[in-house]
Chains A and B, each alone.
Chain A
Amino acid sequence: MHIGANMRDLVVFGIERLEKENVAYGDVRLCERKSEVINVKNGAVEAIKSSESRGYGIRIFDEGMGFASSADMSKKGMKETIKRALKIAKASSKVSVKVDLEEIDIHEDKYTTPYKIDPFEVGLEEKLDYLMDVDERMDIDERIKVRQCNFKAWKTFKEFASTEGARIEQDLIMTGGGLGVNVSDGKDTQKRSYPNSFGGDYNSKGFEFFKSFDLIEYAEKTAKEGVDLLDAKQCPKGKKDLILDTNQLILQVHESCGHPTELDRALGTEASYAGTSFLTPDKLGELRYGSDIVNIVSDATAEGGLGTFGYDDEGVKAKKVDLVKDGMFVGYQASREGAAKIGVEPSGNMRADGWQNLPLVRMTNINLEPGDWSRDEIIEETQDGILLNGIKSWSIDDKRLNFQFGTEVGYIVENGEVTELIKNPTYTGITPEFWSNCDAIAGEEDWKLHGVPNCGKGEPPQTMQVGHGCAPARFVDIRVGVGKW
């Protein structure tokens, strides 16, 4: 499956039709995506699925906006879809204002994800052998009720063209997976995963990224820790210094910085669904978001990030943008439309879930920049804290202020040492207060770039693959052990 010459002809045909219609702005985005998913559970293959999908979306900004998408790859289908988008744009004009798009450099370019091993060229037999081996190594205790491991890869081919003259072709690849156990002794149930929960970890790399986890090595260790959780003490209640490992800190960055710095939320255009943001435009450059060691960027150029690409879905070249600098809120993830409204540059964050959806402001790689501690030093310098690892539960309000997160495991940290495993850890806080209490961030040697493959947003709901890089960090005086257990 690959975009061939006839597909490029279809894109050109679409742009020519839009030009004939004399629309103020129009773009055609054609995509083909294929994916492979393998799930192994309790010694059997729960699912193997090969999926392919192709089609295109037509986006028009004229007197009103209109978007229509179709899988009909004929010229007749393209004409009808453009007609549908025009009709929708005309209907919109009854209740809208003309949209201004911030000017951008217009590109004719190609981009390909760098990778070593094409995951679709690795035989099914090899993948299955590996996953079955991982599964067997997790089978160490009868209290393990579910053992699961998985592999997933996507390949996406995109052709973008606009009435402004953009012509961009991209070949993108994503790979990942992981393992986990659910354990139960009849009284309690716990779970433990590696390298992260909810399907593992993902990156814009080839099969080499999946193999780099070394699931074989971690299978037994992860399973054992899952079993140990059954007899672990409940997370203490009260105020503690909190150390977050990278596979939980990415969620903190995602929910409390990634989403609220999306300009569409801040301008209210997601108010009826995901919500708005406490980071309103009047606070840009004015609000202290965190302590002065907190620096957060949106970086679509980060090597291997799940949100790494050449161009976003409105033709803006991938870039790195400051969101929080020295603790101050300084930037948004902005579309061309949003950027024009508040007078900033588009940040290259417009992304659509497949060909059928409208591009929205989405995270690329939202990264917490490294600090100057090491993970070991942070632990050694903590007197009364807990160390948390592995996403388990998350909830945050519709302005992204009040959050409550739970992790798979926690460890008591006393007088500079990790002393005891604890279960059901939770913590809660208010975003700017929490980040203002960040007093230590580990450095580059502990910095990891993780992938979150399932970020939801928009109506109809879209799922996006985003990246988050960070090193372990400490937050002082945080409320932990929420709820009645």
Chain B
Amino acid sequence: MSAIRLIAVDELRLMARNRVAVIALALLVLLTIAAVVSSWAHQRGVAELRARHQSAAEEAFDAQPDRHPHRVVHYGTFIYRPLGPLAAFDPGVDAFTGNSMFLEGHRQNTVNFGDVRQSSLLVRFGQLTPAFVLQIVAPLLLIFLGYGVLARETERGTLRLLLLQGVSRRQIVLGKLSALGAVALLAGLPAMVGFVLIAGQPDALAAPMAVIAIGYAAYLALWTVVIVLFSTWAKRSRDALLSLVAVWAIMAVLVPRLAPDIASAATPLQNRFQTDVSIAEELRRTGDSHNPEDPHFAAFKQSVLDRYGVARVEDLPVNYKGVLALEGERMTAALFDRYAEASHAAQTRQNALVRAAGMFSPTIAVRDLSMAAAGTDFDGHRRFLEQAEAYRYALVQRLNHLQAEVVSFADDTAKDAGADRRKRIEAENWREMPDFAFRPSSGSELAASAMPGLLMVLAWLAAANLLLVAAARRLGGR
């Protein structure tokens, strides 16, 4: 057996004979299993609930009776964001952004019903998911198991005993790394097995799954190297433990919590109320379709009349009210899109700042790659919003077209006793409307979006390895 393997086996034997270490590892495994099971059950429940609600919303929309198309515009419909198979491993921002949206004419509504708003405050501190266990809990356990791997040998004089057997410093450090690496593997294995079980569905994506597996392996390897590094530097075990706990608190807890606040302060977002007021003001400036004196709509009316070569709206071959609704929706949608774009740009800048904080915290980097690969990051949420708006706009305009083409202007403006019935069109029209179908990112898109985070984690790992090589040369004096 090589010296490296002998040292690794002895370190593992020491851990196995230490009741605290065994209990800690057992607790981590139990915690991971609990995280896998609860996350799987939660996500499955959520996915079923959303599918059921989506189906109910579609049925309700289709079940509308004969009615005026503009009433259907205001009746609206609900859409729900379906969860990807990897969301069970890392739900990302899903709990905070919400998952359902009410689509209607003239408005772009926000997403509602995030878990955070419906659950206990504990959800805000991080759900118990396999990703959370690997990002936060596993490094802490590794610290408690590994802080003394070399500091203990230095403190007790056994480091010199090892050197006196003709073992090189490199062999000693590699032996300790191997032992702690094996523990890291053991700590990460249940989460990874759970990951494959809950995410390895027929429609799962191999590329992002591989990126997640590599990313977390690199992240735990990084912590292993950092722990051995601090243990190499420290003269006493206690010093190694205190330093490592401080490093963990800063990198895994403090920086990931502070970074979003700093980003938010650096690039403030308008709140919903401010946005609504701004949009209302701008809409008023843009024009009022109900005001015959409004310059924009007067010009629009004239352009429609010119196009059809008639002098009055009553002579148009289409229902002018429907045409007006089409124009109004185009204008409001463009305005809403502009505000949404500005908001997304600000959020993208915030996210870029948080991502840059990955230089100070590998936990941010791994979180970034994990959410990106799982499709549960801000980009995934934005993808849903964009598709939802595209669907809403197409739906509303299709209804406006129906109003323009199927309901006559005369009926639409009539106020006699039978007018209401004449304005209605057949319910079959609603049933022919296409349902919302969210198109998630492809596997290669998800994997590509996770690359910056993965590269950051790998850069951390490379830097830590370089430091360890330098520290190993000075291990135990000459």
Q: Do A and B come from one complex?
A: no
